[in-house]
Structure 1
């Protein structure tokens, strides 16, 4: 993709100013921050309402020598969701949300969660695992660095369930049913007898309403604003797993040119954003579930024996991912599952121990 940054955005302006109230000479830096989604999106909400204020606060609390003039471009005004990585890599924006879930070919290692369903539904554990893995797993660090980016925060989804216009009591109820499951999530339906249908959160409502599909694999926080529960009122909680989807990142060349205190501010704000994101998702799950039930949704839980039957019926998709993602994929898989177990969770399936199976 070729995107030319508009002249008015080129470069980072640095202008000395004087803050009368603090009697400290400041340097003002203009930083572009952008995203392909609007601020109402729960990932982007954190950028605007946590990340930016935390950067400003850190700078005030640590010498007050620099101030950021934020140039905001949320809501896809600079680029589309397919271009989030390129936009930060090529400095279309200095800082942006990079959706690794859309970068299967350029960032395959970061997509390990999508090839290990039923690993854990603990979204906070996954976010914190990637906070560590982005820093400590050499291949992941090299991938970010090679794409000219520095990751600052980690974003996740809550765990996946099924929304359908028919009740699901056993796995057999999925047989010959059409379920919206785009991209990699289509792999999760193997062995169930269901037919995956491509789509997205923005298409699920119409697809189910018109019979293109009869349900969708999705998560509470994503489904709530789409009102899919109006056309698929049966919610079958099956805890397929929470997923890592990327996070806030900064163009590496820009980052290296920023003053040291600004670099520290970005890192600190990124960590604060991850923590706030975990709390925000937890709150939104409870709210979403309550609202859906109030509007007529029927929530049931897939029996444990049926869930186990689903898990055991899946082919070894983690091995297929590893075989196509380079030798370092083994290290990533081991680091990810070590983090899950260290966090007190028992994976529904030990994908890391099946690589040679």
Structure 2
């Protein structure tokens, strides 16, 4: 953090004090480009909203030093980039931090909980600030959580439609990381990958489709090689957060910290709106380009959900009592907001 005193006016009247505005330099960045769903609101809401709030008093202004689109670090290093102060504020993908921040990955171990991505944002904004287990996890990694990042709901994009569970038998689907668990006991084989590899994987026959979400599939054009979308409703997921380096944030003047907290709330709302609008637009544009949309029957969806083994158990073994607390708090928050998870992953706790 750098503070620079800038004299913006001399005494206007005899005996009046000169007004000095302080400039705070903030290095902000991400591993993904500005149009990406996890970055868009950082650039287009968080930064201008901080500027607007601070302009109301005029005591401080921010000099933003931007490093978006992976110019400083890649997606595998988002936690370290913020934790080590490579950037002061950045997008942190906790989905890639299963070993270092496992508590944040609770949604990926509890599929079919809700497709309402705005609800997920609201819940994790609250829990990350008010549930000690989650708040302390960010602090232990040298960060302060500001705003939640999510995905829209996961479905199946493939070379074939899925009308029944039998259609998944002996199929190979890209299902990276923890999402591979969602295919257990379905007869399908999960294959690791990422949005950047799905197109080639499917085109070359390495896989026959992928578990993914509309706002990610549209820009990568995966629908060109996987023209059959089966709406399954695996659910929206908490992906990570916009976070600040803790030492940097704690050292900011109180009015700047307050402005960032307020701006973070606006960013969460804007992120939810952007993802919702993009997902809806994506479905329309992909259909115009030839995508066919199917709906997995409710009876087959129930068979999928109930046929899964207890995939939350390994996560609970890894996270212990803290994991139990987070899981119970998450499912309580879902039910308080009217969600009806298709499987009660918190049973027995």
State TM-score, norm by structure 1. Answer: 0.94
Instruction: Provide the C-alpha distance between the structure 1 equivalents of 2:195 and 2:8, rounded to a whole number of angstroms.
Output: 46
1:9 matched residue in structure 2? none
Q: Find the partner of 1:141 among 124, 127, 135.
A: 135
Could you list the per-position Cα deviations for residues 79-130 of structure 1 after superposition, in whole angstroms to 9, with x for gaps in the alignment?
1111111111111111111111011011100000000000111101111100
What SS does the corresponding residue of 2:196 show, helix, strand or coil? helix
Residues 1:34 and 2:23 are matched in the alignment: no
Matches within 5 A, 1:151-300: 151-300=145-294
2:48 matched residue in structure 1? 53
1:5 matched residue in structure 2? none
Instruction: Provide the C-alpha distance between the structure 1 equivalents of 2:251 and 2:322, rounded to a whole number of angstroms.
Output: 30
Gaps of 5+ in 1: 1-11
1:307 matched residue in structure 2? 301
What SS does the corresponding residue of 1:325 show, helix, strand or coil? helix
1:85 matched residue in structure 2? 79
CA deviation after TM superposition for structure 1 residue 20, in Å? 5.6
Gaps of 5+ in 2: 13-17
CA deviation after TM superposition for structure 1 residue 54, in Å? 0.6
1:113 matched residue in structure 2? 107
2:337 matched residue in structure 1? 343
CA deviation after TM superposition for structure 1 residue 42, in Å? 1.7
What SS does the corresponding residue of 2:290 show, helix, strand or coil? coil
1:4 matched residue in structure 2? none
Contact 2:146 2:241 in 1 (8 A): yes
Instruction: Provide the C-alpha distance between the structure 2 equivalents of 1:18 and 1:207, rounded to a whole number of angstroms.
Output: 59
Residues 1:17 and 2:11 are matched in the alignment: no
Could you list the per-position Cα deviations for residues 166-211 of structure 1 after superposition, in whole angstroms to 9, with x for gaps in the alignment?
1211011000000000100000000110000111001101100000
CA deviation after TM superposition for structure 1 residue 326, in Å? 2.2
Could you list the per-position Cα deviations for residues 209-254 of structure 1 after superposition, in whole angstroms to 9, with x for gaps in the alignment?
0000000000000110011111111000000010001111001111
Instruction: Provide the C-alpha distance between the structure 1 equivalents of 2:250 and 2:215, rounded to a whole number of angstroms.
Output: 35
Contact 1:113 1:244 in 2 (8 A): yes
Contact 1:316 1:354 in 2 (8 A): no
What SS does the corresponding residue of 1:42 show, helix, strand or coil? coil
Instruction: Provide the C-alpha distance between the structure 2 equivalents of 1:285 and 1:40, rounded to a whole number of angstroms.
Output: 13
What SS does the corresponding residue of 2:61 show, helix, strand or coil? strand
> What RMSD in Å do the two structures reach over aligned CA positions?
1.4
Contact 1:161 1:218 in 2 (8 A): yes
Contact 2:40 2:271 in 1 (8 A): no
State TM-score, norm by structure 2. Answer: 0.96
